[in-house]
Structure formats: C-alpha cells, structure tokens
Amino acid sequence: MTSGGEVWAFLETVDGRLHDTATKTASEVRKVARLLGGHPCGVIAGVPEERFLQELAPFGLQRIYALGGQRSEPGSAEEHGHAVATLAARRSPWCVLFAATPLGCEAAARVAVRLGSGLASDCVDFARAGEEFTARRNVCGGKAHATVAWRGPPPHVATVDLDALEAVPESPGEPAELIVEEADFGAPRTQLLRRWRVEPRELDLSEATVVVGIGKPILERTAALPMVEEVAERLGAGLGGSRIVVDGGLLPRERQIGASGKWLAADVYLACGISGSSYHMMGVKAVKHLVAVNLDRSAPIFQHVDFGVVGDLFEILPALAALLGGGKKEGENMP
C-alpha cells in the first residue's frame, strides 16, 4: 500500500440517533488509519444532523461521507450495503470497517461481494507486518484466534467484534469535513412488518442486559421472593438464581445462572446473597459490571465485584426498591 488512502468506518444510525457502535467504530478506524498511514473517514446513511457531527467530533475522523438518496425507513442492511458499495467503488478506500451488529454483518458481506473484496469477520485486532495488513479474529466462539490476511487489491472489508470495540475520544481537533454523495440504495426486497421487544422478565438470561441473581438466603425467606422480583422489575432486569435456589424449586431450571445453567453476557449483574462459587463465577465471567450484596465480607464474590455491599439483602433490597421507585415502563432501564 502506498500512503494516503482512506480507512472508512460505517457509522450506524438507529431510530434517528447514532448507534452506540458509531463512535467506537470511528475510534477503531483512527487506530487502523494510524497503523497504515491513511486517513480515518466515516460513512453514514442520510445527511447527518449537526448533533451527530458534534458527537463524533472527538473521535478524529477527517471526512464523513453522507449517503444521500432515496431509501426506506428504517433502512435495511441490503440498502446500506448497496449504497456503501457504490460509494466505495467510486472512492476506492483502503478499508471499510463495520461493527459486528446484525446490520453491520450483513451489509459488510454484501459490500465485499459487490466489490470482490475479502471480508474478515468479527476481528479483535489489526496489525501491520511489513507491507501486509492482517487482522486477528475470533474462531470457535472466541476460544481461538485466527490471524488472517487479505489477498487481492483493496478495499479490504472487516467487521469488528463488539466486545473489542471501545470509544477512545481524543482531545477535540478539527471537525470532520462533511461530503454529501448521491448513493444508490436500491429497493428493499423484504418488508418490515413489526418490531417489538421481549420483556426483560421473559427474556432468556443469556440475552439480558441487566440480571439480578438471588442466592441461598431466599430459601429461608421464600416470602421475600416477590420483593426481589420487584427490584428486578424496576431495574428492567431478568431474575435468575444460583443452583441451590433452582434445586430448591423457587425458580425454574432455565433461570439458573452458572456453568451448568445460563452463561450471562449482561452489562450489569446484581448478585444478592450469592457467595460466588467457582462454578457460578464461570457463568458470569462475561458480565461487564458485577455488583454484589452479601452478608459475609469474606465471600469470594467480593474478589470480583466492581461494587459490593456487605449487609443483609432483606434490608438493603427493599430500600433499593423504594429508591428506584415504581412506574417504570416495561423494557426500560433506569434513566
């Protein structure tokens, strides 16, 4: 590669705002552009509002291509893929990066087919060895990594693992130059009939964003279970339990958290009265923030917590429920 090519980030929008992967993907292309000696740029469907540009300003994009043109609302992955591909064919960037969201995965594959490019999916990291640009990607469910290299001419297409992505703002610099390009979105061939959200209460625990886990103490005070359910409800969380609670018949089998039950991938896990046995902790190791309430200060779970409270859950949880207040609409987290 000679110098000066562009590295593109696909900036996903959803319901009239930037998807939270947009700033992260922008950070990622800044990193890749630095690696390759190119220019970090963004691609966005539709002409972005001023507040989008302000939100993206600290992430160091030099240009933002806005794809103008007719498209349905909300745009499908097919339309986004076609529009990005037509622009990429015209502008010949070095790389096009997508976040590995449902839309990103599909759009990336379509762009790669249209451009005849290689696609590296679910990348964790990028590197440059001499003239070769390589990516490390998850294989076998992330239990191994494969280092892959693109063959053939650019643009190289990649999707980036959502857990690897992080937004790293830089000190505010020059705002990005906005370039509006006419793009061909094509006509959608599938018709979106309905969009809905499964209530946190019914959602499978492995898919839940917030989870409340209850441990052994509840077996001695089963009458307090509705109170714990109330806390979960107000947090917009799914309720699960340790094995002993499930074995005790208080919760159904599919609500068991741990190595032999559900493996969580939640943003927040509130463990109440759970000491943190190694089998339980295996099931929650992918949780981003672990919060625990336990009577015993020496419980192993406190080794892992981001925030812990030593105390009686039957006193603390009702107080928490009162503080959280009622009237939360279903599916909503706290403001």
Partner 1 sequence: MRIVVGVKQVEDIAFVRYGSGLAPLRRRFPNPADLAAVEQAERLRGDSGEVIALTVGPPDVEAALRKALMMGVDRVVRVWSDLLVGADSFAVATVLAAAARRLGFDLLLLGARSADTATEAVGAAVAEILDLPLVTRVIGVESAPEGSRMLAHRKLERGERETFGVSCPAVLTIEPGVTEPRYCAPGWVSRTRRGQVELLRPEEIGARADAFSRRLAILEVTSPRPRAKVGVPVAGLSLKDKLAVMRGGRKQPPAEERVIEGPPSEVARRLKTALERFLPRRP
Near partner 1 in 70-109, by CB under 8 A = 77-78, 81, 100-102, 105-106, 108-109
Closest to 329 measured CA to CA, from 254, 240, 253, 233: 233
Identified binder of partner 1 from the candidate list 69, 118, 175, 248, rule CB under 8 A: 118
Q: How far apart are CA 95 and CA 126, in angstroms?
A: 12
- Which part of the chain contacts partner 1 (CB under 8 A), choosing from 60-68, 132-140, 176-184, 245-253? 132-140
Applying CB under 8 A, does 164 fall inside the site for partner 1? Answer: yes
Among positions 171, 194, 226, 329, the unique one binding partner 1 when judged by CB under 8 A: 194
Tell me how many residues contact partner 1 (CB under 8 A). Answer: 97
Contact track, partner 1, 280-309, x by CB under 8 A: --------xx-x-x---x----xx-xxxxx
Long-range contacts formed by 310-313: CB under 8 A, 24+ apart: 313/217, 313/272, 313/273
> Under 8 Å CB-to-CB from 153, ≥6 apart: which residues?
none
Residue 88, both tokens: 């990429």
Please pick, from the candidates 131, 151, 249, 329, the single residue that binds partner 1 as defined by CB under 8 A.
151
Interface pick for partner 1 out of 138, 242, 256, 275 (rule CB under 8 A)? 138
CB 64 within 8 A of CB 181: no
Helices 313-324 and 225-235 cross at an angle (nearest 10°) of 40
Min dist CB 288 to partner 1, Å, is 7
Q: In whole angstroms, what is the distance from residue 253 CA to residue 259 CA?
A: 13
Q: Which of 333, 281, 330, 332 is nearest to 303 (CA)?
A: 281
- 152 lines the binding site for partner 1 (CB under 8 A): yes
Q: Which residue, among 273, 215, 221, 277, has the nearest Cα to 244 in the 3D structure? A: 215
The single residue among 150, 154, 239, 275 that binds partner 1, judged by CB under 8 A, is 150
Query: Between 250 and 316, whose beta carbon lies closer to partner 1?
Result: 316
**C-beta closer to partner 1: residue 124 or 250:** 124
Candidate ranges 48-56, 140-148, 251-259, 274-282; the one touching partner 1 (CB under 8 A):
140-148
